[in-house]
A and B are shown apart, each in its own frame.
Chain A
Amino acid sequence: MIEQEHLIELKHIRKEYDGVTVLDDINLYIRKKEFVTLLGPSGCGKTTTLRIIGGFETPTEGELYFEGREISALPPYKRRVNTVFQKYALFPHLNVFDNIAFGLKLKKMPRQEINQRVGQMLELVNLKGYEKRKVDALSGGQQQRVAIARSLVNEPEVLLLDEPLGALDLKLRKEMQLELKNMQQRLGITFLYVTHDQEEALTMSDTIVVMREGHILQIGDPKHIYDEPANAFVADFIGESNILRGTMVRDELVSFAGRGFPCVDFGFGNDTPVDVVIRPEDIMVVGEDIGQLVGTIQSVLFKGVHYEMMIDCGTFTFKVHSTTMQPQGSRVGLSIVPFNIHIMRPMDASPTEEA
């Protein structure tokens, strides 16, 4: 049965705080050994979802299953999941060894075995020789490793991580992303990861769950989410996009920016308003005479790997990524292959800006 594969399952979860709904009808399952990321802007309910699974919040409605058993009323200390908290939440009055050994001591494990397991963990997170250090004296990256070791040493079925790399600088964050992914694969533990950083989500995850305002917008693997975003919000949130209002003239023909384009989508009906999403790297800059659209280059920014150009075509200004640069002010042609034009139904509400 497929059900057995589902380690954790959320069914119709709803959460209300003081009359305000922060999660609405969340349905989600997590398979064993999967790396699942909850992705969304702040206030989308991703942390609340994690806290419900960790046992720190009880859902207002709905059921939470762990290996097929309903556990939404089970207190956190009876769940076989462990959490790595935002800003670590280490115990400052204990040293590194005692922080990591905290969970094992509670299980009344023999001293010998505790020493051995903590030793292994310290080796895993590259902190050998730090046993007696005070946690306050460690750097951010080291504290992060202690927090991960403190959770992993209990051999949880699922590790919940709440923006664990948020407080680290960019370089360290990239290193830790790879290390975490490695650890997850080596140990074969299920990870549920919360972040607002789309790049982090794309790099590490097997499955990404995009959330907004208490709803799940899309679930899929990183490539699917990037290439086939379910709506304009997902497209905008995952990577950069040009989002235009357009009209589906008929199957495989869409009209936007003042002309028709052949595309590969069908089944929307004739003359239907749609959202059109085009990735900046999918627009080709060609000669003025052969482009589908003609525009003037407004600005050019060097971004390292590519140039980012803003090209004004009269009705719309396109963001274009290209490895070759055209001088500012010059007239160029733009061309888009049908496969790279993504058509989606307009969202009932336009994405609201988060402060």
Chain B
Amino acid sequence: MPILVLIVQSFNAGKSRAKWEGFSFRWYGALFQSVSIMDALKVTLSVALLATVISTILGTLAAIGIYSMKKRPQSVMMTMTNLPNTMPDIVTGISLMLLFIFTRINRGYLTMLMAHITFDTPYVILSVMPKLKQMNKHTYEAALDLGATPTYALLHVLIPECRQGIVTGALLAFTLSLDDFTVSYFTTSPLVQNLSTLIYSAARRGIEPTLNALSALMFVTLLVLLLIVNHRTEERN
């Protein structure tokens, strides 16, 4: 309901929230004119894309590694993979911030990217893992048996076999990155802002109608992404 109000408001021609002054794309236009918003959009998109690519590669390799472990270390690794998902974002955010302060890494674009990779990777592992478990456990050996080197078997058999899980994991990572506020807030500097931290600081100064338009767009984008991810997961089952 509040989101619905927000979306309706974003088309309001007037500046006041109390009065409907007719339908207009005025704020959407203003949105794309604003330098600070466009800069933040670039940060958000580039962080999300880079984090997705890196965490997908890391997560896929990690999943394959964990899959080939023995039972005990495997369950330990899977618990560690599940842990970040059960932890509130604020804990992840603050602990990463403390880590960066402790290691004297200046917070900014790079730390935000690292933070995003950190919380994206477990989701990729969790999407790829079921695909590996569904596979016949001798599939990799069969490839070696037919003359494939381990690298060839990885690229031409294992990865194609879990392609669906990898794509789902990547979409999920991208969505989470776009969506994230808490972790980004703690791991970036005020100079490098993505959309969500920008909205947060702007909202403290008073809500501008452009922010309505921006929030409406973000909501719709994330909704579509989530629907795609859900659809893929259901199709698999």
> Known: A91-B161, A93-B163. Is A83-B145 also a contact (CB below 8 A)?
yes
Q: Is the CB of B138 within 8 A of A103?
A: no
B144 lies within 8 A of A76 (CB): yes
- Which residues from B are CB-within-8-Å of A90? 136, 142
A102 at the interface (CB under 8 A from B): yes
Chain A proximity of B17: nearest CB distance (Å): 54
Does B146 lie within 8 Å of A154, measured CB to CB? yes
A338 at the interface (CB under 8 A from B): no
Per-position 1/0 for A117-157, Cβ under 8 A of B: 00000000000000000000000000000000011001000
Min CB distance, B57 to chain A, in Å?
20
Knowing A85-B136, A85-B138, A86-B138, say if A93 contacts B161 (CB, 8 Å).
Answer: yes
Q: Does B160 contact A (CB under 8 A)?
A: yes
Assembled-state Cα–Cα distance A114/B138 (Å) = 25
* In the assembled complex, B45 has its CB within 8 A of some CB on chain A: no
How many chain A residues touch B (Cβ–Cβ < 8 Å)? 25
Q: Which of A76, A85, A91 contacts B157 (CB 8 A)?
A: A91
Q: A85-B138, A86-B138, A88-B136 are in contact. Are A102 and B143 (CB under 8 A)?
A: yes
How would residues 110 to 136 of chain B score, 1 for a CB under 8 Å from any chain A CB and 0 otherwise?
Answer: 000000000000000000000000001
Q: Which one of A56, A90, A91, A107 has the highest number of Cβ atoms from chain B below 10 Å of its Cβ?
A: A91
B142→A77 contact, CB < 8 A: no
Most buried by B among A76, A81, A103, A107: A76
Which of B141, B147, B160, B163 is close to A85, meaning CB atoms less than 8 Å apart?
B141
Query: What residues of chain A lie closer than 8 Å to B137, measured between beta carbons?
Result: 89
Q: Is the CB of A54 within 8 A of B145?
A: yes
Chain B residues within 8 Å of A54, by CB: 141, 145
We find that the number of chain B residues with CB closer than 8 angstroms to chain A is 18
Determine if B32 is an interface residue (Cβ-Cβ < 8 Å): no
Within 8 A of B (CB), among A97-118: 102-103, 106-107
Q: Is B79 an interface residue (CB 8 A)?
A: no
CA of A89 to CA of B157 in the docked complex: distance in angstroms? 11
CA distance A86 to B160 in the complex (A): 22
**Bound: A56/B136 CA distance, A:** 15
Chain B positions within 8 Å of A150 at CB level: 146
Please give me the residue from chain A that is nearest to B152 by CB atom.
A106
Q: Residue A75 at the B interface, CB < 8 A?
A: yes
| Set of chain A residues within 8 Å of B24, measured between Cβ atoms | none
CB <8 Å contact, A92 and B161: yes
The answer to the question of B149 belonging to the interface, with a C-beta cut-off of 8 Å to chain A, is yes
* Interchain CA distance A82-B141 in the complex, whole Å: 11
A166 and B146 CA atoms in complex are apart in Å by 22
Measured between beta carbons, the chain A residues less than 8 angstroms from B142 are 83, 85, 89-91
Q: Which residue of B has the minimal Cβ distance to A17?
A: B70
Query: Are B141 and A102 interface neighbours, CB within 8 A?
Result: no
A88 to B137, CA, bound (A): 10
* Shortest beta-carbon distance from A101 to chain B in Å: 10
Whole-angstrom CA separation of A38 from B58 in the bound complex? 42
Tell me the minimal C-beta distance from A117 to chain B in angstroms. 14
Ranked 8 nearest A-B pairs via Cβ = A103-B146, A89-B138, A85-B138, A89-B142, A76-B144, A106-B147, A89-B136, A93-B160
A residues lining the B interface (CB < 8 Å): 54-56, 75-77, 81-83, 85-93, 102-103, 106-107, 150-151, 154
28 contacts between A and B (CB under 8 A): A56-B144, A76-B141, A76-B144, A77-B144, A77-B145, A77-B147, A77-B149, A82-B146, A85-B141, A86-B138, A87-B136, A87-B138, A88-B136, A89-B136, A89-B137, A89-B139, A89-B142, A91-B139, A91-B161, A92-B161, A93-B163, A102-B143, A102-B148, A103-B146, A103-B147, A106-B147, A154-B146, A154-B147
